[in-house]
């Protein structure tokens, strides 16, 4: 009977867990639509901005770009900042772990090359992971969410641009390069970890115009000086929106899987409980029959 009691307690516990995971899945599903719409709406603006910057940069010789704006300064990297972005919470499958692995790989590769590497964490999970493994963290920011992303993106972007263009706070050396490691929302079922260079500004898109030559008022350098801070801020914001959508999608998939696993486990435990109960009943019947036969003599 002790085994039956243990099985009843375990079945009740798994049922309670299933209620929690099912509720979390429904909450994630409700949030997913908003997060997905936010990133899909932001991408056309980002694509247009990248195309415009690519057109303008194509009109400036590479050797003269550093004189136009310090965000275009390109030197042999001696100090590199790595920005690892993930979530403040867990229960979202491999969403956080994938960023940890990718960021750790970048840190190790740069260290092997003799480069001074500094780490900036966005998200408590990144902070906890790298603190656990003894990685010093230069600066920490909370993970983005719908309530703070519009304030957090400019704050992070200004902090990184100030460090790159002028000097970091304290005695830290000025970074020659800043890389961002974060999740890219490809679809509800797929989030890809990407490593991109935030600073110096790099635009992979080909210029959209070849002829006639691009003209701008008051001048191309003046327009670049105005657009580059907007460009970097938008890159950070878009990465945050990607991360938010990817986190919600990963949490929904993880909670759906947990709910399905709980349902299967309840079925297995119920079957085991019924077998144990039937065995106990059979044993009691056999004892009664044996006692009756002994009394009958």
Residue 204 has a pLDDT of: 66
Measure Cα distances from 258 to 19, 85, 255 in Å: 10, 25, 5
- Cα gap 163→144, rounded to integer Å: 21
Terminal-to-terminal C-alpha distance of the chain: 31
Q: Which residue has the tokens 């999608």?
A: 249
91-109: average pLDDT:
92
Confidence bin at 212 (pLDDT 50/70/90): low
Which of 14, 92, 117, 269 is catalytic? The answer is: 92
Q: How far is the C-alpha of 81 from the C-alpha of 99, rounded, in Å?
A: 16
Burial grade of 82 (CB within 10 A; 0-12, 13-18, 19 or more): buried
Asked if the structure places residue 227 within a domain, the reply is yes
Location of structure tokens 């247009």: 48
| Three-state SS sequence of the chain | CHHHHHHHHHHHHHHHHHHHHHHHHHHHHHHHHHHHHHHHHHHHHHHHHHHHHHHHHHCCCHHHHHHHCHHHCCCCCCEEEEEEECCCCCCCCCHHHHHHHHHHHHHHHHHHCCCEEEEEEECHHHHHHHHHCCCCEEEEECCCCCCCHHHHHHHHHHHHHHHHHCCCCCCCCCCCEEEEEEEEEEECCEEEEEEEEEECCCCCCCCCCCCCCCCCCCCHHHHHHHHHHHHHHHHHHHHHHHHHHHHHHHHHHHHHHHHHHHHHHHHHHHHHHHHHHHHHHHHHHHHHHHHHHHHHC
Residue 63 lies in a domain: yes
Q: Work out the average pLDDT over 199-212.
A: 66
Q: Which domain holds residue 62?
A: 22-254
User: Considering the domain boundaries, does residue 279 fall inside one?
Assistant: no
pLDDT of residue 223: 87
Strands 190-199 and 177-187: antiparallel
Does pLDDT of 179 surpass 90? yes
Q: Are 11 and 273 in contact (CB under 8 A)?
A: yes
For 123-172, the pLDDT digits (tens) are: 999 999 999 999 999 999 999 998 899 999 999 999 999 989 887 666 67
Backbone angles phi, psi at 116, to 5 degrees: -75, 115
Q: Is residue 13 part of a domain?
A: no
Predicted confidence band of residue 187 (pLDDT cuts 50, 70, 90):
confident
Helix axes 95-112, 220-296, angle to 10 degrees: 130
Residue at 284 is within a domain: no
Mean of the pLDDT values across residues 79-101? 92
pLDDT in tens, 11-59: 999 999 999 999 999 999 889 989 999 999 999 999 999 988 888 888 8
Count of residues in the chain: 297
For residues 177 and 105, give the distance between their C-alpha atoms in angstroms, rounded to a whole number.
Answer: 17
Pairwise CA distance, residues 242 & 213, whole Å: 35
Q: What integer pLDDT is reported at residue 83 of this predicted model?
A: 95
280 domain residue, yes or no: no
Our answer to whether residue 92 is catalytic in this structure is yes
**Chain centroid to CA 40:** 17
pLDDT band at 118 (very low <50, low <70, confident <90, very high): very high
User: Does 287 have pLDDT greater than 80?
Assistant: no
pTM: 0.85
d(CA 192, CA 150): 23
Q: How confident is the model at residue 82 (pLDDT cuts 50, 70, 90)?
A: very high
Classify residue 5: in a domain, yes or no: no
CA distance 7 to 238: 49
User: Angle, to 10 degrees, between the axis of helix 2-58 and the axis of helix 220-296?
Assistant: 170
The answer to whether residue 9 is domain-embedded is no
* CATH code of 71's domain: 3.40.1380.10
Say how many domains are in the chain: 1
């Amino acid at each position: 009977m002790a085994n039956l009691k243990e099985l009843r307690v375990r079945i009740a516990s798994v049922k309670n867990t299933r209620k929690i995971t099912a509720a979390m899945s429904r909450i994630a599903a409700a949030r997913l639509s908003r997060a997905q719409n936010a990133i899909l709406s932001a991408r056309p603006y980002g694509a247009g901005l990248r195309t415009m910057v690519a057109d303008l940069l194509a009109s400036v010789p590479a050797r003269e770009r550093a004189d136009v704006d310090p965000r275009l300064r390109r030197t042999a990297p001696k100090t590199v900042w790595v920005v690892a972005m993930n979530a403040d919470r867990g229960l979202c499958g491999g969403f956080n772990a994938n960023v940890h692995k990718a960021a750790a790989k970048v840190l190790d590769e740069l260290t092997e090359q003799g480069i001074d590497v500094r780490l900036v964490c966005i998200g408590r999970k990144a902070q906890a992971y790298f603190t656990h493994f003894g990685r010093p963290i230069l600066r920490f920011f909370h993970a983005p969410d719908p309530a703070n992303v519009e304030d957090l993106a400019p704050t992070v972007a200004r902090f990184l641009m100030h460090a790159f263009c002028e000097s970091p706070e304290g005695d830290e050396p000025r970074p020659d390069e800043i890389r961002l490691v974060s999740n890219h929302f490809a679809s509800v079922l797929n989030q890809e970890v990407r490593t991109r260079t935030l600073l110096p500004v790099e635009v992979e898109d080909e210029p959209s115009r070849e002829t006639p030559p691009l003209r701008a008022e008051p001048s191309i350098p003046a327009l670049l000086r105005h657009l580059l801070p907007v460009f970097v801020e938008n890159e950070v914001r878009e990465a945050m929106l990607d991360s938010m959508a990817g986190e919600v999608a990963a949490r929904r998939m993880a909670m759906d899987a947990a709910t399905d696993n709980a349902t299967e486990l309840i079925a297995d435990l119920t079957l085991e409980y019924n077998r144990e109960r039937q065995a106990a009943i059979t044993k009691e019947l056999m004892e009664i029959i044996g006692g009756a036969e002994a009394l009958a003599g």
